[in-house]
Amino acid sequence: MARPKNADGQRTRQAILDAALELFADKGYFGTTLRDVATAVGVRESALYNYFKSKEALFDALILAHEHSKSQRLASLAGDGPIADGPALLERITLGSLESLLDPHEQMLFRLLMSDGIRLARTGRFNLHERLGSGPERMQELMSRLIREGWLRKGDPKLMWISFVGPLLLLRHIHAAGGDPGLDDPRAFARKHVEQFFLGAGAPSSSRAVTPRPARARIAKPVLRRVTAKRQSS
């Protein structure tokens, strides 16, 4: 990956991040050196220290950039006002997750996190839970909102979140391992996934604003009684 011509500091920094992610995903965090990254970008190794003081700092910057992007996407989908359509909102979130699953950049990051990210966390050199913590927290907050506004039945928001994202995380593992996640039609999958989730977690419609019943529904019982009485008299 050549260094962009006339690149300013920000573009060079992004080139370093892109090269590092590609190398980390291919060779692993522990199998990649800063010299490898410098060679891929086309700069001297000493120049990398103007942007990242260590390989750990470079890895940390990759995770923070990903978390910031993910938080922005979720915030733009969920918003802060009342939720007009709970199932439609979760369908959009599911579709966004499926689209990121198929994105090459996201695929490389996922392989990195599921391999060396866990190893770094277990040795205490990197707090994976802390770095990825805002995603689960935001989803739990969303589940709490859906419960408060009557879209979901009362329950533990954390368990709701786990039930919702569990199948999506499994698809990521299948795809990362080279399997077929069966996503020929992501929109249809998102709709079915949300329908299945609401079968177990959905609240009765009576917990939301009551919709007046059609007039024919209100007169159905009197009509039925008249028909029954006529039959009995005959």
Are 197 and 90 contacting, i.e. CB atoms less than 8 angstroms apart?
yes
pLDDT for 211 beyond 70: no
pLDDT for 198 beyond 90: yes
pLDDT for 159 beyond 90: yes
d(CA 204, CA 7): 57
pLDDT for 192 beyond 90: yes
- Tens digits of per-residue pLDDT, 108-136? 988 888 878 778 777 766 666 555 544 67
Q: What is the pLDDT of residue 207?
A: 59
Fold classification of 1-53 is Arc Repressor Mutant, subunit A (1.10.10)
| Strand ranges inside the chain, DSSP E | none
- How many helices and strands, by DSSP H and E, does the chain display? 13, 0
What is the average pLDDT across 168-196?
Answer: 89
Q: What is the pLDDT of residue 217?
A: 38
| Mean pLDDT across the chain | 80
Q: pLDDT grade, residue 89 (50/70/90)?
A: very high
Q: What is the pLDDT of residue 125?
A: 64
Of the chain, the percentage scoring pLDDT greater than 70 comes to 79
Q: What is the pLDDT of residue 223?
A: 35
d(CA 62, CA 21): 7
Number of Cβ within 10 Å of residue 61's Cβ equals 16
Where exactly are the structural domains of the chain? Answer: 1-53, 60-207
Q: What is the pLDDT of residue 228?
A: 45
Higher pLDDT, 209 or 177: 177
pTM of the model: 0.70
Q: State the amino acid at position 189 in one-letter form.
A: F
pLDDT for 106 beyond 90: no
d(CA 103, CA 111): 12
Are 150 and 207 contacting, i.e. CB atoms less than 8 angstroms apart?
yes
Q: pLDDT grade, residue 6 (50/70/90)?
A: very low
Higher pLDDT, 222 or 7: 7
What homologous superfamily does CATH list for 60-207? Answer: Tetracycline Repressor, domain 2 (1.10.357.10)
Higher pLDDT, 2 or 25: 25
Number of Cβ within 10 Å of residue 151's Cβ equals 22
Q: Among the ranges 38-47, 57-66, 114-123, 218-227, which has the highest mean pLDDT value?
A: 38-47
Q: Please name the residues in contact with 170: beta carbons below 8 A apart, sequence gap of 6 or more.
A: none
